[in-house]
Amino acid sequence: MGKNTSVILGEYYEDLIKKEMSIGTYASASEMIREGLRLLDERKQKIQAINNALDTGEKSGEPLSYDHDAFLKKMAAKYKQNV
C-alpha cells in the first residue's frame, strides 16, 4: 500500500475528478491521479527515446546525398525482377 500524500488541486481539477468518478471512469481520486502520473511518465520516456534517437543521428556524421529518382528506379527494377 502506498503512502498518503496531500495535494492541493484547485477547483478545476477537483471538479474534473468528481465528474470522472460520477460517470464511472475512475473509482477514486487516487486511481485518476495514478493514471495521470503513468501518462506523464510514459510521455517523458517517449520524449527521452526521441532525444536519444536525435543524438544518435547527430553523431552518425554528415548526411549522404540522396537521389530520389535513382532510388525509385532501383526499387522498381528490384521488385520487377522478383515478381
pLDDT tens digits for range 58-83: 999 998 899 999 999 999 999 986 54
Return mean pLDDT, the chain. 93
How many Å apart are CA 47 and CA 53, to the nearest integer? 10
How many Å apart are CA 83 and CA 72, to the nearest integer? 17
Q: Tell me the per-residue pLDDT of 22-35, one tens digit each, with 9 for 90 and over.
A: 999 999 999 999 99
Give the pLDDT mean for 2-19.
Answer: 94
Q: Which amino acid is at 48?
A: Q
Contact 29, 21 (CB under 8 A): yes
Q: Which residue intervals of the chain are DSSP H helices?
A: 11-22, 29-59, 68-81
Q: Which amino acid is at 51?
A: N
pLDDT at residue 80, as a whole number: 86
pTM, full prediction? 0.68
pLDDT at residue 83, as a whole number: 46
Angle between helices 29-59 and 11-22 (to 10 degrees): 110
How many Å apart are CA 37 and CA 5, to the nearest integer? 14
